[in-house]
Structure 1
C-alpha cells in the first residue's frame, strides 16, 4: 500500500493548481528552430546546469532508465521526456517547475538557456505516436469564469494530464 505524505500532496497540488498561474494575456510566440543535427541530452541541458542544481544527477538517472526505449525514440529523446516528469527536492528546483515558470514569463530572453532542451523535448514528443483520446486535468474548481468557452487561450506550459479520473 502506498502512503501519501504531506510532500506528495504538496507536489500533486502544485502540478494540479498551476493552472491559476497561466497568463490570460497573449505572450510573444516562442521560435524553436528544428535542428537537423541531433544533440545529446547532456548537450541540451548544459546551459541549465547553473540554473538547476543537481541537474546532471537527474540526467544520468533518466538516461539510465531510458537505455533501450521501445517507443522508437532515441535514448536522449526518451530521457528528455522522463527528465521533465521527474520530481526532486526542493520542488522549486525541479526542471518541470522552473521550465513552466519561464514559459509563463513575459520576458522571452529568459528562455534562451532552455532552447536546446526544448528543441530536444519537443522533437521527442512529436515523434511519439499520435492518439485521439480525451484527457483529464485535475482541477477542483470551475474554470468557465476564468476561461470563457467562446474565447481562445494559449497555455504555454506543459500540463500534467491523465486518461482516467
Structure 2
C-alpha cells in the first residue's frame, strides 16, 4: 500500500483550499437521508465507496491505526473519518474529498446514497466538535472570480469547504501567490470546525465549513487590477439545508481566542 507522502499532502492541501471553482453557484435540493443510517465503524462506512475509490479501504485502515486516543472526546472511528477526509493520495481525483464534494454538488441527490454511511460517521464527528464563531478564515484561487460574487449577493457552497487561519499561507506562490489574476475570500464564519487535532497533518491549521453553508457577499475590494478580495459573511438559511446527524441539544458554540 502506497502511503500518502509530503508532496501528495501539499498538493491535496492546495486542492482543498481552492476548489470553490467547482461550486455550481445555484440552489440545489437539501442534503438529507444519511441521518437515518446507523452509526458504524469507518471500515463499514467506506465499504459502499470501493467502486468509486478503489484505494479507500487501504487508507481507512491506515488512519484508523493513528487514532488510538483521539482528542475532543471523539471515538477512534469518528476521529479517523476526519483524518481520512484530510488525507490525500494519488491520483488526486480519486481522493475521498474530491469524490465526496462532487456528489454533494451534484443536482442528482441519488449520487449521495453511496456516501450515506460515511456522511453519518463524518458529520457525527464534526457536530461533536464545538463550532467556532465570529472568526475570519481564508480561501482563494489563482483566478478572477469577481463576476460570480457581486456585493449583496447570497451564495451557497455545497461542498465541504477547507479554510486556513493564515492569509500568509494562502498568499504563498503555490496557492494564490502575489502576481497574476487571483481571488482571496475573507470569510466571517459562525459554524466552522477546527479539525487540527484530527487532521492527517495537524500543522495545516484547517477550519472546515460544512456543506450547505450560506453566505452574503458584504464587500468586494480590488487593491490592484489582478487582486480581488471578496468578503463573505456566513448567514443562517431560512430552511434546513443540511440535516443534522443527531439531536443538537448538548452542542456548544464557542469563539476562537
- Runs of 5+ in structure 2 lacking a partner? 1-5, 168-257
Match of 2:140 in 1: 138
Two-structure CA RMSD over aligned residues (Å): 2.1
Farther-moved stretch of structure 1 (117-126 vs 10-19): 10-19
Give the secondary structure class of the aligned counterpart of 2:148: coil
CA contact (8 A) 2:137 2:164 kept: yes
CA contact (8 A) 1:32 1:119 kept: no
Cα displacement (A) at 1:71: 1.4
Match of 2:90 in 1: 89
Indicate the structure with greater helix content. Answer: 1
Q: 1:135 and 1:81 mapped to 2: Cα distance?
A: 19
Q: 1:99 and 1:162 mapped to 2: Cα distance?
A: 20
Cα displacement (A) at 1:16: 3.5
Q: 1:164 and 1:17 mapped to 2: Cα distance?
A: 14
Does 1:118 pair with 2:119? yes
1:156 to 140, 143, 158: 158
CA contact (8 A) 2:79 2:125 kept: yes
Q: Structure 2 length as normaliser, TM-score? A: 0.57
Higher relative contact order (CA 8 A, sep 6+): 1
CA contact (8 A) 1:34 1:119 kept: yes
Indicate the structure with greater strand content. Answer: 2
Does 1:49 pair with 2:50? yes
Cα displacement (A) at 1:142: 5.0
- Runs of 5+ in structure 1 lacking a partner? none
Question: After superposition, what is the alpha-carbon deviation per residue over 1:16-53, rounded to whole angstroms, capped at 9, x for unaligned?
Answer: 33211100121111114535853111111111112111
Match of 1:14 in 2: 15
Distance 1:110 1:35, change over 3 A: closer
Q: Structure 1 length as normaliser, TM-score? A: 0.86
CA contact (8 A) 1:62 1:79 kept: yes
